[in-house]
Amino acid sequence: MKLSYKLYLFQPNSENEKSLGDIIILHGLFGSSKNWVTVAKFLSNFGSVYTVDQRNHGDSPHATEHSIRLMSEDLEEFILDHQIKNPILFGHSMGGLVAMYFDFTHPGVLNALVVQDIAPRSYPFAYDQEIQSMSFPLEGFTSRADIDTEMAKFLPDTFIRQFLQMSLERLDSGEYRWKLNVAGLNQARRVFDHPFPEKISSDTNTLFILGGSSDYITDSDKTLIQEIFSRLTMESILGGGHYIHYTHQAEYLGILKNWFQSKISNH
């Protein structure tokens, strides 16, 4: 599948700085490349950055099948099409699972791996409210405010509604539609069940950034991560949840800056 993407070209801070290599950012469930503009611009100081829309999200094609394995295959096709050598792969949530899957099944290919707030294990599909809030017909709605009011009946969390509405598009006709394949994602409820091959390990230089108060990470997850990744840096943001790139941006970008600069000094 040919994925839609945005490219942020390498913008070195000084003339003699060399690129660390191409960086690919993979968003989470219900997200898109639009959620990663700030981070992508920041990371373009270290290399050119591709923000990808995964299948059934953003401007990429819709498909009936949706799995971590298939998204990893889409990514492999993307890397080959763009002739990217040894990319730095960066994934949040679902995107983190895809990034880890790619790393586990392509040992030695990645320059480095960054995973945000997800562990290499199964997760339940706990998104009924999100799906319901996007499943009512949009015909007759003339404003985002009216759609938001209707969504709130299913999904009280304002932050998550605003996040979802980044994928709400107004057509030239004035009608609204979801860019997300809502029905397809609703059918893919096992997407996070045992997403990986049986034997998993990684020697890739890896950074995990975790939300200190996130529902997605337990103490046993941290132990699991340490067992699987042999070249690991793990950072937690105190009080942070699942969307630390947005809610704790300054601290988050500081962690990325330190880690990428340490890669430059080792370069």
pLDDT tens for 117-133 read 999 999 999 999 999 99
Residue 152 to residue 252: CA distance in whole angstroms: 29
Share of the chain above pLDDT 70, in %: 99
Phi and psi at residue 192, to the nearest 5°: -105, 10
8 Å CB contact between 197 and 105: yes
pLDDT tens for 201-254 read 999 999 999 999 999 999 999 999 999 999 999 999 999 999 999 999 999 999
The domain locations on the chain are: 5-125+190-266, 128-187
CATH 3.40.50.1820 fits 5-125+190-266, yes or no: yes
Residue 156, both tokens: 């009280």
Give, in order, the Cα–Cα distances in Å from 128 to each of 36, 62, 192, 193, 215.
Answer: 25, 20, 14, 16, 16
Give, in order, the Cα–Cα distances in Å from 89 to each of 203, 229, 252, 257, 261.
Answer: 14, 15, 17, 16, 16
Residue 147 to residue 167: CA distance in whole angstroms: 13
Q: Which of 75-84, 244-253, 255-264 has the lowest mean pLDDT?
A: 255-264
Q: Which residue has the tokens 């975790």?
A: 210
Give residues with Cβ within 8 angstroms of 87, minimum separation 6: 21, 22, 23, 24, 79, 110, 111
Please choose, from the candidates 1, 62, 53, the residue with its C-alpha nearest in 3D space to the C-alpha of residue 27.
53
Residue 150, both tokens: 């209707």
Residue 255 reports pLDDT greater than 70:
yes
pLDDT tens for 33-48 read 999 999 999 999 999 9
Q: Is the pTM of the predicted complex or chain greater than 0.75?
A: yes
Which of the four pLDDT bands, split at 50, 70 and 90, describes residue 17? confident
